[in-house]
Amino acid sequence: MDKLVIKGKTPLKGEVTINGAKNAAVAILPAALLIDGITTIENLPNISDVKLLCEIIENLGAKITWISNNAITIDSRNISCTQAPIELTRKFRASYYLIGALLGRCGEVQVGMPGGCKLGARPIDQHIKGFEALGAKVEVGQGIIKATREKLIGTNIYMDIVSVGATINIMLASVLAEGTTIIDNPAKEPHIVDVANFLNALGADVRGAGTDVIKINGVQKLEGNITYSVVPDQIEAGTFMLAAVASHGDIIIRNCITKHLECITAKILEIGAHAEELDGDTIHVWCNKRPTKANIKTLPYPGFPTDLQPQMGVVLSMANGTSIINESIWESRFQYTDELNKMGAKITSQGKTAIFEGVSTLYGAPVSATDLRAGAALIIAGICADGITEIHNLEHIDRGYENIEEKFRKLGANITRVKEDDPNNHLVDLPE
Ligand code: UD1
C-alpha cells in the first residue's frame, strides 16, 4: 500500500494538461460493445477504473489493445460471454453500463451489484425502470443483477430523479431498440453528451443530449471502425482550478472545455479569486488574497457539481468568514470534513449541510481518503497546510486521476508517493 506525503504551504504555479473524462470513458468502453467491430478510443484516462473495465470487457470476449498510454482499440466482434465477473463488477459503479450495452447487443446480461464511492444509498431503480419500460426483464438478488429481453421497443421514459447513470444506461439500451425512445428529465452532464456523440459516431440516432429531452430513434445496426476522442474531464479541470485558488497560486489549465467550467468559474470570481478563459480549451486561474466566504448548493449540470464539492470545501475551510455547503445529490458526502478538521479546519456537518467557519491556516496531519474526490480535496489541503500531511487509502484517488502527484509536482508541490512501510517515508526532499 502507498501513501502520499506532502510538505505544504506551496502556491501552485505553472501549466497542467487535463486528461479525458473518467465518467465519459467508463460509459464509452461498454458502449463499444454494442457493435460487431473495432473502435479506437483516444484521450482515454489511464486510471484504475478504466483498467478494471478493460479487464472485465476482455473477460466477455472482446480484445483490448493499448496503442499508447491514452488510447486503445476494442475489438468486440467476438462477445462470447454475457456474465461479467461478479467480483470485478462489484468494485466500481460504472459496471452497470454493461447492462444497457449487453441488453442491446446480446439480449442478456449478468453483473454484480455495482460498487463505487460510498456517498450514501446509490439505488438503481431508475435504470431498472428504464430497462423494463423498454421491454426487458430485470431480476435483482443476492448481489447480482440479471437482465434479459426478447426485444426492446422504444417508449417514453420519465426520470423521477435526474440520474447520470440511468440516463446513459437507457441511451445504451435503446439505440438498437425498435422505434423511438424519449427520455424526459434526463441528466445533462458533459459526459452524457459525449456518450451520445460516441453512439452517433457509431451510426446511432440520438438527439437532444444535453437538453431536457433526449430522443433516440432505434437503428438496426451500428458500425465500427471509428476513432473517438473522449471529452476532457470537467472534474479534473475543476480540481486544478480550485487547487490554484486554495493555494493562492497561478495555474494555466489546458485541454479543458471552458463552457463546462462556468459554474466553477462563477464561484471563483464570487469569492474574489480570478479565472480568465484564454481560449475555448484553456483557462487561467489565480488568487492573490484570502478568498471570501460563499454558499454552495450542489446540483445536476449546469449547477455546481457534487464531484467538486469536497475540493471547494477545502477552499471555503480557509476563506474569510463562514460558508455553508448544501449537498443535494448524495447523503454522505461530508466524510472528508472530519479529515479536514484533523488539519485544523472548523467544519460542522449534519446530514446534507455543512458549515465552514474559515480558518487562516490548515496544519499538516495524517488523514485518509474516504472516497475519490475527498482524496483530491485532501491533496489540495495538504499542499496549502503548514507542515507535513500524509494521505492514506490512495486506491480511491487512483480510480479517477491519472498521475495526480506528478501533475501537482510539476506545479511546484512537494508531494511524494511512498510505501506505507518505508522507514524513511516521512522524509521529504524540499525542492528549492
Ligand atoms: C455519477 C458519477 C458520480 C457523480 C454523480 C452525480 C459516474 C461513474 N459517476 O454517478 O461521480 O457524483 O453522477 O453527478 O458517472 N438515484 C436514484 N435512483 C437511480 C439512480 C440514481 O435514486 O436509479 C439518485 C442517487 O441516489 C443520487 C442521484 O440520483 O442521489 C444522482 O445519482 P446519479 O446521477 O445516478 O449518479 P451516478 O450515475 O451513480
Fold of the 2-18+232-427 domain: UDP-n-acetylglucosamine1-carboxyvinyl-transferase; Chain (3.65.10)
Q: What is the pTM of this model?
A: 0.95
Say how far apart CA 34 and CA 41 lie, in whole Å: 14
Q: Give CA–CA dist 238/379, Å, rounded.
A: 14
Check for a shared fold between 2-18+232-427 and 22-229.
yes
Domain ranges of the chain: 2-18+232-427, 22-229
Atom 3, ligand 1: residue with shortest CA distance: 307
CA atoms within 13 A on the CB side of 225: 1
pLDDT digits (tens, 9 = 90+) for 235-286: 999 999 999 999 999 999 999 999 999 999 999 999 999 999 998 899 999 9
297: closest CA among 324, 333, 279?
324
Name the grid cell of 347. 467544519
Q: How far is CA 291 from the centre of its chain?
A: 26
User: Which residues have a catalytic role annotated?
Assistant: 117
Q: Whose CA is nearest to atom 26 of ligand 1?
A: 122
In the CATH hierarchy, which fold is given to the domain comprising 22-229? UDP-n-acetylglucosamine1-carboxyvinyl-transferase; Chain (3.65.10)
Is 122 close to ligand 1, i.e. is its CB under 6 Å away? yes
406 CB-near residues (< 8 Å, 6+ apart): none
Contact 159 CB / ligand 1 (< 6 Å): no
Ligand 1 pocket member 307 (CB < 6 A) = yes
Strands (E), 168-262: 180-184, 205-207, 213-217, 226-229, 250-254
Taking the alpha carbons of 299, 300, 302, 308 in that order, is the dihedral positive or negative? positive
* Tens place of pLDDT per residue across the chain (432 aa): 899 999 999 999 999 999 999 999 999 999 999 999 999 999 999 999 999 999 999 999 999 999 999 999 999 999 888 888 888 888 788 889 999 999 999 999 999 887 666 766 678 999 999 999 999 999 998 889 999 999 999 999 999 999 999 999 999 999 999 999 999 999 999 999 999 999 999 999 999 999 999 999 999 999 888 999 999 999 999 999 999 999 999 999 999 999 999 999 999 999 999 999 998 899 999 999 999 999 999 999 999 999 999 999 999 999 999 999 999 999 889 999 999 999 999 999 999 999 999 999 999 999 999 999 999 999 999 999 999 999 999 999 999 999 999 999 999 999 999 988 766 555 444 443
DSSP states of 254-301 as a string? ES--GGGGHHHHHHHHHTT-EEEEEETTEEEEE--SPPBP-EEEB-ST
**Is 118 close to ligand 1, i.e. is its CB under 6 Å away?**
no
What DSSP state is assigned to residue 361?
A: -
